[in-house]
Structure 1
Amino acid sequence: MGGGHGLHATLSALRTLHDSLDVDTITAVVTVADNGGSSGRLRQQFGVLPPGDLRMALAALCGEDEWGQTWAQLFQHRFGGEGDMQGHAIGNLVLVGLWELMGDHVRALDWAGTLLGARGRVLPMATTPMDITALVRDQQSQGEVVRTVRGQVEVASAAGDILSVALDPVAPEACPEAVQAILTAEWVVLGPGSWFTSVIPHLMVPGLRQALLTTSARIVVVLNLTDQEGETQGFGPCDHVRALARHAPGLEVHAVVADRGAVPDVEALQRDVAALGATLVLDDVAVAGEPRHDPVRLAATLRQLMTW
């Protein structure tokens, strides 16, 4: 569960476990609140779900063979130059075309997955577009001000401290197939990714939240490696865990995965993780010298966790 580059890393890792752990089904449940770039333009023009994060999830599940990698590269390719097509990813256009042709977001995503030879299924967290809103605390000349920021792009780049996030509409209907996937899952992996705009929004959809509270699946949270300018400026691992706990009271977490080199205070993080009822798993899951997850290293950590 997630969106963007964070979910891409997790799915790339899980895809490598498809055969080694006899994993029958990998289901990506993807945030659909993007209002910027190619996705925002297509959403506004056609009234469809923003396709970008869904496209990235499909690409991540493509196989390592020539067929899979060719389709993955094509889906991710963006038009350059000038004019109306500039910046559009080919996969975004294919998804919008399938949605128009079939009139069903989920059916079209399943067909796209078949075309790409994806090693799993990609589902939206809800079947209607939505916006993210946030209460942001900022220091201004007149003193401390709390204001509401609307839109995923605007929230991600907002100056100040994000106190909480919500969705508009407040209670969007969860994708039924996504709810069923959570209820029947053995494992649910949440994160990494933009914490307030890609990860936590899943917990704001009532149907998904209830499924997470009732499923027998073991829930694993993968923490970000660093803060994100604007959205989580100044956040450390403990801040990420506490923000998750504030937005998901009662959520039982099995394990929290963190990169060994990204945790300045292990004891403090262990206390916050224990408050979730979870076990802290410290490992080397980052690309050496870079602030991004290494799918191979993350796969090794998840393999060990899932075979305990």
Structure 2
Amino acid sequence: MTYSDSKVIRVSRSRRPKIVVIGGGTGLPVVLSALKEQDAQITAIVTVSDDGGSSGTIRNFINVVPPGDIRNVLVSLSDIPQEQKDVFQYRFDSSDSFFSGHAIGNLIIAALNEMHGNIFDAVQSLSKMMRVDGHVFPASNEPLTLNAEFIDGTIQAGEKEITNKDKRIKRVWVTDTNSNKEPEAVSPVLEAIMQADAVVLGPGSLFTSILPNLMIPNLGEAVRKTKAEVIYICNIMTQLGETDHFSDCDHVDVINRHLGGHYVNTTLVNGAKIDMSKFNPKDYDAYIEPVKNDYVGLRKQGCRVITDDFIDQRSGLVFHDGEKVANEIINRAFTAMSTRKTTE
């Protein structure tokens, strides 16, 4: 296990690094925006098993892949003017009983899904309209249902229902919402993973944003087989109903167990103390405490550890510092490129 003080090792930059980021939730756009500034070739693979909020409502009414995470990722990589982004992100307030809670972007994605007949082509069409720098791929072309088995042996389906159980999760898997077919990712998703220099997992909810993607059989197999550096961005805070009292090692262990081996090559972990006096629990009702560091346990997982002050708490909220995280990802990607070149 090695440690870094965030000094970026510069290697020959013969081409833009190919970086695939897999996940969902609010942390993903922060990292994608920072990577965009680093001039990387970005592919975002976004979870499609969300069943809460506006995404869940739209999904239930018109049977479409939940659009919320896709919407936020599109905005983070878009080169359209900010005013247009604001319109796309606008959410109707509660005074409008029909549109209450819905973001305009979610409705546009749902409409394009109907026009194209599938979510993958819909997102590619919208990516062109929004001048997206990179690629945004739904993890699956079909809506997926997240399933969980808890430590006590009980089983629950549905992301929202799983977290509401507030039980320790043993394992998760996904099923096709509309059929008995095995969930699968489309070929561009698999090709992006296999051709990547770095495959980044997170940041995001461990069991409901990251693992649902890896549990798509052919997508998980691609992550196992890729020669890319597999990087996990560990969460800063534990999450109620998912990772209560987890250490950074616990997070990595769960990913590796679901993949069936030690596939995480590098883990980015926060080593700085969080100023809890700035922390407003009302803003994070699902979060409990800072994730504890367990370097001994991480060593046993066989992964490189890069630890730094990865916190951006300037607003009083606890986010990853996108610039610092992106620097480390770029560093590892170029190192992987250099290593691959010397071995070929």
Q: For this structure pair, what is the TM-score category when the shorter chain's length is used for normalisation? A: 0.7 to 0.9
Maintained 8 Å contact 1:212/1:251: no
How far has the Cα of 1:30 moved from its partner? 0.7
Matched residue, 1:79: 92
Mapping 1:261-300, distance limit 5 Å? 261=272, 266=293, 268-269=294-295, 271-288=296-313, 290-300=317-327
Secondary structure of the residue aligned to 1:149 is strand
Letter in 2 for 1:59: V
Distance 1:157 1:8, change over 3 A: farther
Partners of 2:78 and 2:269 in 1: CA distance: 26
Matched residue, 1:189: 200
Matched residue, 2:59: 43
Matched residue, 1:165: 172
Matched residue, 2:158: 151
Secondary structure of the residue aligned to 1:32 is coil
How far has the Cα of 1:242 moved from its partner? 1.5
Q: CA offsets, 1:59-105, max 9 Å, x none? A: 11124xxx342333222211112312000111111111111112232
How far has the Cα of 1:251 moved from its partner? 4.6
- Greater helix proportion: 1
Maintained 8 Å contact 2:229/2:333: no
Maintained 8 Å contact 1:136/1:147: yes
Maintained 8 Å contact 2:113/2:122: yes
Q: Which runs of 5+ in 2 are unaligned?
A: 1-21, 274-289, 336-344
Correspondence 1:107 to 2:118 = no
Larger RCO (CA within 8 A; separation ≥ 6): 2
Secondary structure of the residue aligned to 1:131 is strand
Maintained 8 Å contact 1:283/1:301: no
Maintained 8 Å contact 1:179/1:208: yes
Q: Which runs of 5+ in 1 are unaligned?
A: 138-144
Matched residue, 1:230: 241
How far has the Cα of 1:216 moved from its partner? 1.4
Partners of 2:114 and 2:34 in 1: CA distance: 32
Distance 1:251 1:117, change over 3 A: farther
TM-score by length of 2: 0.79
Partners of 2:255 and 2:25 in 1: CA distance: 18
How far has the Cα of 1:265 moved from its partner? 6.3
Matched residue, 1:215: 226
Match of 2:146 among 98, 114, 132: 132
How far has the Cα of 1:235 moved from its partner? 1.5
Root-mean-square deviation (CA, aligned residues, Å) is 2.0
Partners of 1:211 and 1:203 in 2: CA distance: 9
Mapping 1:20-99, distance limit 5 Å? 23=40, 25-63=41-79, 67-80=80-93, 81-99=95-113
How far has the Cα of 1:178 moved from its partner? 0.7
Secondary structure of the residue aligned to 1:253 is coil
How far has the Cα of 1:264 moved from its partner? 7.5
Partners of 2:291 and 2:89 in 1: CA distance: 35
Matched residue, 2:34: 13
Partners of 1:35 and 1:47 in 2: CA distance: 11
Secondary structure of the residue aligned to 2:140 is coil
Q: Aligned pair count?
A: 291
Q: CA offsets, 1:133-166, max 9 Å, x none? A: 11224xxxxxxx4321211112233212111111
